[in-house]
Amino acid sequence: GMDLRAIARAALSNLQAGGVSQGGSTITQQLAKMFVGQARTYERKFIELLVARQIEGVYTKQEILEAYLNRIYLGAGVTGVRSAARIYFDHSLDELTLDEVATIAGVASAPSAFDPYSHPERARTRRDLVLARMGQLGFASSEQVEAARALPIQLRERGELPASPMPYVTDEVRLRLEELYGHDAWRYGSIEAVTSINPVLQAYSGRALNEGTEALDHRQGFRGPLRAQSGLSRTQFDELLTSHYSPTDRVFPALVQEAEDDLEVYAFGEYLSIPRDGWRWAAPFDEESSENSLELEAIGEALAPGDVVLLERTPEGIRLTQPGRIEAALVSMDLQTGYMRAMGGGTDYEGSQFNRATRGCRQPGSTFKPVIFSRALARGMSLATPLLDVPLRLPQSRLEIWRPRNADRRFQGHLSLRDALIRSRNLPTIAVFKRVGLQDVMWQAENLGITTEMQPTDALSLGASCVLPTDMATVYGVFGTRGMRRRPVFLVSAVDGNGRLLHDQGVSYDAAGTSSAMIWRALHRSQDPPPRVLDERTAYLMTYALHDVIEMGTGYRAAELEHPSAGKTGTTNAFDAWFVGYTERLVTVVWVGTDRNTRPLGDGEHGAEVALPIWLQFMRQALDGAVQASLTEPRPEGVNLIKVDLRTGLLAQREAPGAWLPFAEGTEPTTYAPSPDDLMMERLDSGDDDF
């Protein structure tokens, strides 16, 4: 029942501490808490007491315990003892042994801390405490307790577990519900959640991320065998191999038999020969180096008989591979609805459940430049505004001077604002940043959809403040929708076990979800357009320039996509590579790097080399069969195409070379650039010795 003394003791402790710091709940109150919420307040505790009293007035203690055990969270994504028995031990409840019962019971008090998969030693210590308590209470004899404590925890192999086809998505649903409604929302009770994820596109994203990061991982070099000089016989190795892998697996271990001229290995009862093309990438990995794509001359430099290695089946044949260490994230959003259609949180969920797509804050590098340039255009600059790509010296303090440089450490002199963007020139960008102003750029970042804090320094001009991939989808989505801001919608709707609508972000014409969700949308969303945060003309100019990034700039490889697209590459301090690009239908963000920045990506491993190929592979599959649509036609009212001289930003002479660029009315040049003959005469008149 209600342990009033325990509650009083907890209340006194909290009053002394100035807050709510400890609990005082019985099993009945724990069950009540599953219905009234987890908020740590005395008001909630009082309601919990009332619900607990009602429960005890209707149900027997056995029924209360059964309900509690069926709803309690027990780690590893498991709710209820029946599921725990199946997931942890592959047993039904009546098949559990004493030590297995104690293991599950031990998890209950702190599921994260005592999860036997993640913390086996802690779980065993906790199990032994539970066994000792069971002996003290007479539920087991001292002999049974000692026998159970002597046993190791024999868990079901993780490889045998029924895996979620979209583990990052499943985790994100749980986290979103907990953020909205408390920790009990997902673990307790029945909630029907509808996400925006398209399972087919999600599969495409996983494949693109894995293949792209594996290619970079191989270019960085070979980190050695899974186990060197294992000492295993072929029989011993086969026993281990067949207990975890099957002959049809794409990736599997093998035992090296010979490593001289050729690589000979043994697996699944047969000998395999790996040709040089399958192992020449395996030059030694050097964490201190940034030199990539070295080739191995002789396999004996990397491997020896008795080593255990990892192999991969590919369309070209079997080749040597290794567990990946490169991480990546992908977010793809529908521009019309804001629905997140694919979300790649990482490349190895078993290794790390951290979702980099929604929670990984990384420096965006040059993908931040459109934030600066869009504000410059909104304040009256044009794509033809002349800039200088020349050395800069920027005082940061009395003793410090910042001398920024371009990625190629060269200077291009005179160039237009558009060319500075499409060539991703740092120095002209910094000049624009200084003209616009730090505070204005920070305001624009928030206005376009960046939710992370911007660092108020000049380095912000080069993307030195970290951002979320989901935020970058929002920013570029503003350009793609000509000024409308849609934040990525992941959790479309959620309904509790009683049919009550808890949450809905669906668009009015979306038929997904329950009837209550659709009725709510019809009443509330039909006249609820996304906010306009950028003038339509400014957004159009940005799309025009970002389209040129792909047509003639750093993102030229994306032109292989058979759909008109716009986008921007980005690289930061050799550790982060980005590509953000969009078509008329989808905006997709790709980030590649490592969580701890332990090694540079490598010389020449820029956004165009690392992230863009992943974006291209995903978008090709995602847009297969889709109708092509122009990004730059029709032009919005108030935008005119004018031929200009890119060196001066002035109107081009009729017969002179120039470029046709769009201008918002009021920003176009009104005078003509000097003709080549005029420039020659000016130099002669000035006595220019360099002429």
* Residue 276, C-beta contacts closer than 8 angstroms, at least 6 positions apart: 262, 299
Cis peptide preceding 275, ω within 30 of 0: no
Quote the CA–CA distance of 524 and 461 in Å, as a whole number.
Answer: 40
Element (DSSP H or E) covering residue 565: none
CB-neighbour burial class of residue 660 (10 A; exposed 0-12, middle 13-18, buried 19+): exposed
How would DSSP label each residue in 350-370?
Answer: TT----HHHH--B--GGGGHH
**Share of residues in the chain with pLDDT > 70 (%):** 86
**CATH number of 4-160: 1.25.40.10, 3.60.40.10, 1.10.3810.10, 3.40.50.720?**
1.10.3810.10
pLDDT tens digits, residue range 61-93? 888 888 788 777 787 767 788 878 888 888 888
Instruction: Report CA torsion sign: 378, 383, 385, 391.
Output: positive
Which residue spans of the chain are classified as CATH 3.40.710.10? 329-382+437-486+532-622
Tokens of 393: 């010296």
Which residue spans of the chain are classified as CATH 2.40.50.140? 223-321
pLDDT tens digits, residue range 366-397? 999 999 999 999 999 999 999 999 999 999 88
pLDDT tens digits, residue range 487-541? 999 999 888 766 778 888 888 777 666 666 667 666 665 556 789 999 999 999 9
Which three-class secondary structure state does DSSP give residue 484? strand
Tokens of 86: 């199946």
What letters, b where the CB count within 10 A reaches 16 and e where it falls short, cover 451-487?
eeebeeebbbbbbbbbbbbbbbbbbbbbbbbbbbbbb
Whether the per-residue pLDDT at 10 is higher than 70: the answer is no
Q: Supply the mean pLDDT for the chain.
A: 87
- Of 160-164, 458-462, 569-573, the range with the lowest mean pLDDT is 160-164
At residue 457, what are phi and psi to the nearest 5 degrees?
-135, 165
Quote the CA–CA distance of 393 and 403 in Å, as a whole number.
Answer: 5
Whether the per-residue pLDDT at 188 is higher than 50: the answer is no
For the whole model, what pTM was predicted?
A: 0.77
Which residue spans of the chain are classified as CATH 1.10.3810.10? 4-160
> What's the CATH architecture for 329-382+437-486+532-622?
3-Layer(aba) Sandwich (3.40)
pLDDT at 341: 97
CB atoms closer than 10 angstroms to residue 526: 11
pLDDT at 165: 63
Supply the CATH classification number for the domain 223-321: 2.40.50.140
Tokens of 224: 């050695």
- Of 11-15, 132-136, 484-488, 526-530, the range with the lowest mean pLDDT is 11-15
Tokens of 590: 């790709």
Whether the per-residue pLDDT at 187 is higher than 60: the answer is no
Tally DSSP H helices, then E strands, for the chain: 23, 19
